[in-house]
Structure 1
Amino acid sequence: MKLAKPRFDIGLATNNLEGMLKFWQKDVGVPLDHVLKVRRGQNQHRHDLMGSVLKINHFEEVVPDTPPAGYQELLIASDKTLQHLSDPDGNAVRLVAAGSDGVTQIAVRMGVRDLEAHKRFYSEAFGFPERPYDKGLAFQAGEGLILLEQDSQAPSDAEFRGKGWRYITFQVFKVDDEHKRVLDAGGGEALAPVTLGTTARISMVRDPDGNWIELSQRASIVGSLD
């Protein structure tokens, strides 16, 4: 899979907009880029995370307290004081020295039930190269890393609705082609490709544990939704 942007994005859902914005903008130092009105009752506060997008999806309706997805922690390469943090909703974030565990930009650390199944998924469905990681497996996704660790308590059918880290996004050139590629490699389909006005054409797929992954063909990046 050829990424249209050499960085992946990560999204979460919350009802606590004020507290979340204060934490991410002031405590972590991630600047707001713009607010995207997704639909009535949902605004996406898009923050610039070294070229990746931190998507804080604020919902007016109550976000359910469903079990967490397999996305366990966001790692950010930083020259600030190295520390483990959690935002007001309890989402884990860690500031690490550049190069620690191979992280030079960002990484998402995941707990998975079957390392070998996820190894096949990320190598065959996405074609990401494997990188050394002594705690499990790592895959290079552009400048970012996907860190996979064995976890018998990881979800087997991760839910999309709920607080916390819920999905990652890969920007691609042709979402229909890449969506088919993931399905052909054994990935699950959560949402068939759909066009969102003139902004993007997106789809949703699922990994072997049911974690949600967005594929996005964004007009501002690739120039066309055809």
Structure 2
Amino acid sequence: MKLAKSRIDVGLSTNRLEPMLTFWQQEAGIPLDHVLKVRRGQDQHRHDVLGSVLKINHHQDPLPDTAPSGYLELLVAREGEERQLVDPDGSKVRFVTPGTLGIGQIAVRLGVRNLEAHRRFYTQAFGLPERVWPGGVAFEAGESLIALEQDPAAPVDAAFHGKGWRYITFQVFKVDDEHARVLDAGGQEALAPVTLGSTARISMVRDPDGNWIELSQRASIVGSLE
């Protein structure tokens, strides 16, 4: 996969906007970049995490009380800081000294039921380089890491609509091509490529456990949605 941005983004959903913004901006020290109006009743508060986007999706309508996804924790490299925090909805973030576990920017920890199936998925569908990770394996998505850890009790087929960590995003040059590549490698289609106005062309795929992955061809990054 040819990445248009050398960092992944990560998305969560919430009904509790003010407590979440207070936590992420003040306690976690993650600055707001801008707010994107996704649709009526949903705004995306986009925060800058060392070049990755933390997408806090605020839904006015109550989110269903669904099971969590396999995305366990966001790890952020920050000089002179070693601490773990939990936001008001229960999502975990951990700050580590740069270089810890090979993290120079961010990493996303993911619990998976079948490590080998996910290894094949990230190798064949995305072509990401592999590296050692305690209790599993990690893949390099530019400067970011996706860390997979074997967990026989990991969630399966997590719903997209629910509280907490829900998806990661790869910014790509041609979403249609990359979407087809993922499907050819055995990935599950969750949303066929669709154009969102003049902003982006996106699709959604799912990993072997059903965790959601967004592929995004963003005009502000690649210059064209064609």
Scaled by the length of structure 2, what TM-score is found?
0.99
Q: Whole-Å Cα distance in 2 between the matches of residues 76 and 180 of structure 1?
A: 31
Q: Whole-Å Cα distance in 2 between the matches of residues 96 and 128 of structure 1?
A: 23
Report the equivalent of 1:182. 182
- Is the Cα–Cα contact under 8 Å of residues 130 and 139 in structure 1 kept in the other structure? yes
Report the equivalent of 2:210. 210
Q: Once the 2 structures are TM-superposed, how far is the Cα of residue 79 of structure 1 from its aligned partner?
A: 1.5
Report the equivalent of 1:56. 56
> RMSD across aligned C-alpha pairs, in angstroms?
0.6
Q: Whole-Å Cα distance in 1 between the matches of residues 213 and 134 of structure 2?
A: 25
Paired letter, 2:40: R
2:173 is the alignment partner of 1:166:
no
Residues 163-222 of structure 1, C-alpha deviations (whole Å, 9 max, x = no match) = 000000000000000000000000000000000000000000000000000000000000
Paired letter, 2:206: R
Counterparts of residues 1-226 of structure 1 (less than 5 Å): 1-226=1-226
| 2:53 match: secondary structure | strand
- Is the Cα–Cα contact under 8 Å of residues 44 and 56 in structure 1 kept in the other structure? yes
Q: Once the 2 structures are TM-superposed, how far is the Cα of residue 72 of structure 1 from its aligned partner?
A: 0.4
The gaps in structure 1 that reach 5 residues or longer are: none
| 2:12 match: secondary structure | strand
Paired letter, 2:182: V
- Is the Cα–Cα contact under 8 Å of residues 80 and 95 in structure 1 kept in the other structure? no
Residues 97-126 of structure 1, C-alpha deviations (whole Å, 9 max, x = no match) = 111111110000000000000000000000
Q: Once the 2 structures are TM-superposed, how far is the Cα of residue 80 of structure 1 from its aligned partner?
A: 4.1
Residues 50-102 of structure 1, C-alpha deviations (whole Å, 9 max, x = no match) = 10000000000001120000000000001243111100111011011111111
Q: Whole-Å Cα distance in 2 between the matches of residues 73 and 134 of structure 1?
A: 15
Q: Whole-Å Cα distance in 1 between the matches of residues 156 and 37 of structure 2?
A: 31
Paired letter, 1:142: G
Q: Say how many residue pairs are matched.
A: 226
| 2:56 match: secondary structure | strand
The gaps in structure 2 that reach 5 residues or longer are: none
Q: Once the 2 structures are TM-superposed, how far is the Cα of residue 134 of structure 1 from its aligned partner?
A: 2.4
Q: Whole-Å Cα distance in 1 between the matches of residues 166 and 37 of structure 2?
A: 19
Q: Whole-Å Cα distance in 2 between the matches of residues 2 and 187 of structure 1?
A: 17
Q: Once the 2 structures are TM-superposed, how far is the Cα of residue 155 of structure 1 from its aligned partner?
A: 1.5
Paired letter, 2:151: D
| 2:133 match: secondary structure | coil
Residues 9-52 of structure 1, C-alpha deviations (whole Å, 9 max, x = no match) = 00000011000101110111111000000000000000011100
- Is the Cα–Cα contact under 8 Å of residues 195 and 201 in structure 1 kept in the other structure? yes
